[in-house]
Chain A
Amino acid sequence: MARKKNRMSTEVNAGSMADIAFLLLIFFLVTTTIASDKGILNILPPKLDPNNPPPEIDLNERNIFTILLNANDQLLVEGEFRDNPDGLDEDVKAFILNFGQPDEEGTALYNTLPASLKALSAKLPDSSDDPGEAVVSIKTDRGTSYDKYLEVFDLTKKAYFDIYAARVNLSTDEYRALTGKNDAEVSLQDKGKEGIPMAISIAEPNKIGGN
C-alpha cells in the first residue's frame, strides 16, 4: 500500500510517429505537382529591322518542302491534299535526304551517311538538292488549332532527329535526351547535326478563320 509508487513512464510513445509521417508524406504527394518543363524547342527568327531588311534569298522551289495547314486543320503537303499528318515524318526525311543535285560538300556529306540513310536518297530532280539547302516551311491560318500545328511541327522535328540519331548510331529517344552537359554529349550532338541544319521555317499565318 505504501510501497505502491505511482510511477510515470518516462518514454514517449513513438509508435505512431510513422503513421503521422505517412500522413504528411501522402499530403505532400497529393498536393504537389512536379513542375514539368519538357517541350519542343523552337528558335524564332530575329525581329525585322525596318532599316535593314533581310537579304532576299532565292531558293529553288524544289528546295522548299511546303506544309500548309488551313483553318479546318486540313493539310496541303507539297501541293497534295491530306486529311491527317500521319506519315509526314517519312516524307520530310525523304525530302531532306533526296540529294537531287548535291554540290561538292553535299556529295562528301552523302558519303558519310550510314547505309540506312543512303537508302532514303531517291535523287529525284524535283526534290531537294542537298540537306544544306533543304528548308521545311510550315504555314498556318490564324484559325488553325495549336494542337494540329504542334503535331505537324513535332513530326518535322522527328524527321530531323531521326536523321541525326541514325548518324551517331543512337535511337531517336537517346539522341534527344542528350542535353550537352559534357563534352562527349556535345560532340555527339554536333556530329549528328553536321551539315544538316534543322531548317524549319514558320511562316506568318494567314488571316483566315481567326481574329
Chain B
Amino acid sequence: MGKFGKKNKVSENIPTSALPDIIFMLLFFFMVTTVLRDQEILVEQKIPQATQLQKLQKKTLISYIFIGKPKNTALYGTEPRVQANDALLNTPDIVQWVNQERDLLPESDRGLITISMKADRDVKMGPISDVQTELREADARRILYASTGKVKND
C-alpha cells in the first residue's frame, strides 16, 4: 500500500579498493616469472626460425653459448665469435667452460648437461661445426639449436 515509494536501488559504484592489490599481484607474478638479462650479449643474435621445437623439462641443465658476429666490430673484428657467460671465448677454451658449467650441476645430472646454441642466422657452418667438435671433445653431447617458432604457411 504505502510501500510503492521504496525503490530497490542498486549501487552503481564498483568497489575499486581492491584494485591496487590485484595490480600488485600481477606485478609480483611478472617479477617472479621473468628473468632479467644478467649478461650483456656481445654478439649479434638473430635467432633462426624452425618448426620442430622442443622444450626441455629441466631448465637448470641448460647452459647457453652465443655465436655470432661481434657487435663491437672495431674491437673484436667481423668474424663470428663465441660468447659464453659474459666474455668472448676462443674455440679451444670451450672445453674448459663446459667443465666449469658441469661442475655447477648436481652430480647426478652432470651427464645430462645441455648446451643451448644461440647462433645468429648469418653464421656459416664452419664456426658452428668447430664448436660442435669442441663440445664433443668436452663430452657435452646434448645440444639444442635455439630457434623461434616459424609461422606455417601451409
Q: Chain A residues in contact with chain B, CB under 8 A?
A: 14, 17-18, 21-22, 24-25, 28-29, 31-47, 140-147, 149-151, 153-154, 157-158, 161, 176-177, 179-181, 202, 204-205, 209-211
Contact = CB atoms under 8 A, between A and B. Distances in A.
Looking at chain B's contact residues, the main secondary structure is mixed
A38 B35 contact: no
Contacts of A14: 17, 20
B51 A158 contact: yes
A150 B144 contact: no
A47 B139 contact: yes
Contact of B24 (A21, A37, A153): A21
B106 to A, nearest CB: 19
Contact of B30 (A32, A40, A47, A209): A32
A40 B50 contact: yes
B52 A205 contact: no
Of listed A14, A17, A161, residue having the most chain B CB within 10 A: A17
Of listed A31, A147, A161, residue having the most chain B CB within 10 A: A147
Contacts of B16: 18
B148 A40 contact: no
Contacts of A35: 35, 59
